A and B are shown apart, each in its own frame.
Chain A
Amino acid sequence: MPPSVRFAISVLVGVIIGIGSARYMSSESSGIFANSYGKWQNWPVAGDTSSNPYTLARFLTETKLPEHFSEVLTFYRRDDDQDDRLSEDCNYLLSMPVPTARRWSVALETLSAQTPQLVTQDDVISVGGVVEIQLSNTPQPGNWLQIPDAGNPKVILRLYDGETITAQGRNGQLGLPSITRLACS
């Protein structure tokens, strides 16, 4: 093979590997630079000037400005407690102690939905200091978030006033929700 052809192939392969690996490492799905809290993940240093370039890239390549962790902590997950992917064919129960954050929300985002389903601290009924929200494709009694028909569901928990919550987390009181599968059709 002539050297010029080898050169072109090497450059092409190198560029594909280099850019591909950079995109993967900065993607949400890789989770390499995300922190894990049980089944939940978040990007702990998003928005800080000391954050690594992969964390920044995770937001900036989507032209989103990362919220500083002192303002909001955002956690997400795509699996239930049995490590199975969330599915529109199943019903789930999300359960957590009422967050002590001054403001919080739980959202269900899918690829197919334009805007995520959302509940905030003002929308839910809590009993005995526990919030339970059913995640289901069909209407459910009590607190309910609809899983649309298709699209890789992702549950997002946002806790406002991140400094307070981070301090509580250090004492093991973060209280992130469990997601239990109830039944599948």
Chain B
Amino acid sequence: MNSSRTFWGIFTLLVAVAAHLSYILFVPSSQLKAKMSEIAEANGINTLAIGTPGSPAHSLAEYPSELVYAVCPFDLTSGPLRIRATVPEQYWSLEVYNARGGTIYTLNDQQAPRRQFSLYLSEDDPEPQAIVNAANSLGSSANSITVLTGTQTGVVEIRSAAASPLEAARSMEALGSTSCEVVKN
């Protein structure tokens, strides 16, 4: 009787450990993936979506009364991603995440090379000439940043100050002239 109870006790414990690890390792990233799919369905992949109220992208906004958010779910299968960013004269940040929500790269308005610049995302070991060609074709090689992501999929989130109507207007203007698109090899 006692050995039977011990067996089922250990079995229950093992099931609990398996359920715990399965949940913590897979559920959060699958929820992020589902949200990215929803945003990509509404706006397209490799396209910048501004988080206006009611849009799928808006649900990512953790502090919507303080910041304006824009997201670009990316897939580098068909080539590097180019973000042509316009940085307002106020707090602004860009963060590149992998598909599991880990940060790959961050940049803010004080670190940006200029008010307008290009940021290229490429998976590991890109063909260097492809990046150079893409940059040269846009005349922006002296004003660009290349980030090796080490992953094909992920998301870029841009946040810009919006605590006052003036800040919000500046942010919307800057995000309106920011683009996100694949550069064909």
Contact = CB atoms under 8 A, between A and B. Distances in A.
A184 B159 CA distance: 39
Contacts of A182: none
Nearest to A17: B16
A116 B63 CA distance: 8
Interface string A50-74: 0101101101111111111011100
Interface stretch (B40-48, B89-97, B122-130, B173-181): B89-97
A120 B17 contact: no
Interface string A61-90: 111111110111000000000000000000
A115 B25 CA distance: 31
A13 interface: yes
Given A60-B32, A61-B31, A18 B93 contact: no
B24 interface: yes
A116 B19 contact: no
Give the interface size class of chain B.
Answer: 35 or more
B161 interface: yes
Given A53-B28, A63-B59, A68 B91 contact: no
B102 to A, nearest CB: 4
Contact of B106 (A14, A18, A62, A71): A71
A44 to B, nearest CB: 14
A60 B28 contact: yes
B75 interface: no
B20 A21 contact: yes
A65 B95 contact: yes
B127 to A, nearest CB: 25
Nearest to B90: A103
A22 B24 contact: yes
A141 B126 CA distance: 60
A18 B26 CA distance: 13
A158 interface: yes
A107 B66 contact: yes
Contacts of B104: 49
Nearest to A120: B163
Contacts of B25: 53
Interface stretch (B5-13, B79-87, B113-121, B139-147): B5-13
A137 B121 CA distance: 48
Given A10-B8, A53-B25, A60-B32, A18 B19 contact: yes
A19 interface: yes
Given A10-B11, A57-B27, A158 B63 contact: yes
A103 B103 CA distance: 22
A39 interface: no
B102 A49 contact: yes
* Residue from B20, B157, B161 with most neighbouring chain A CB atoms (10 Å): B20
A103 B98 CA distance: 27
A156 to B, nearest CB: 8
A84 B63 CA distance: 26
Interface string A102-142: 11010100000001101010110000000000000000000
A68 B161 contact: no
B19 A15 contact: yes
Nearest to B108: A71
B13 A66 contact: no
Interface in A124-181: 158, 160-161
B102 A48 contact: yes
5 contacts: A18-B17, A49-B104, A67-B95, A102-B110, A161-B108
